[in-house]
Amino acid sequence: MNSRLKETIEALIFVSQDPLSLERMQVLLEGVPGEDIRAAVDELAGDYSAGDRGIHIVRGGGGYLFATKPAFDRDVRRLLQIERKNKLTSASLETLAAIAYHQPVTQSEISAIRGVDSTYTLKTLLEKKLIKIVGRKKAPGNPLVYRTSEQFLLYLGLNSLDELPSEEEMSRILQEEKPADA
Partner 1 sequence: MTEGPALPQDPVEPPMDAVPAAGPSDGYQVRLEIFEGPLDLLLFLIRKKKIDIHDIPIAAITRHYLEYLGKKEQINLDREAEFLFVAALLIYIKSQMLLPRETDLAEQDDPRRVLVNRLLEYQKIKAACSLLREKEEDQLLQWKRHFLPPLPGESDLDVVELSLFELAESFFVLMKRRAADSTRIIRGRDVTIEVKMKELVGLLRERRMIDFLEYFTAHESLEEALVSFFCVLELVKTRVAVAVQDELFQTIRVWLRKDPPRQVAHE
Interface residues with partner 1 (CB under 8 A) are 17-18, 58, 60, 65-70, 73, 76, 80, 85, 87-88, 90-91, 93-94, 96-98, 100-101, 112-117, 154-158, 164-165, 167, 169-171, 173-174, 177-178, 181-182
Distance of CA 153 to the CA centre of its chain: 2
Distance of CA 135 to the CA centre of its chain: 22
Least Å from the CB of residue 13 to partner 1: 10
Residue pair 146/103 in contact by the 8 Å Cβ criterion: yes
In a 3-state reduction of DSSP, which class is residue 130?
coil
Name which of 136 and 163 has its Cβ closer to partner 1. 163
Instruction: Give the bridge partners for 145, in sequence order.
Output: 106, 135
Least Å from the CB of residue 175 to partner 1: 10
Q: Within 13 Å and on the Cβ side, how many CA atoms surround 37? A: 21
Name which of 97 and 144 has its Cβ closer to partner 1. 97
Least Å from the CB of residue 140 to partner 1: 21
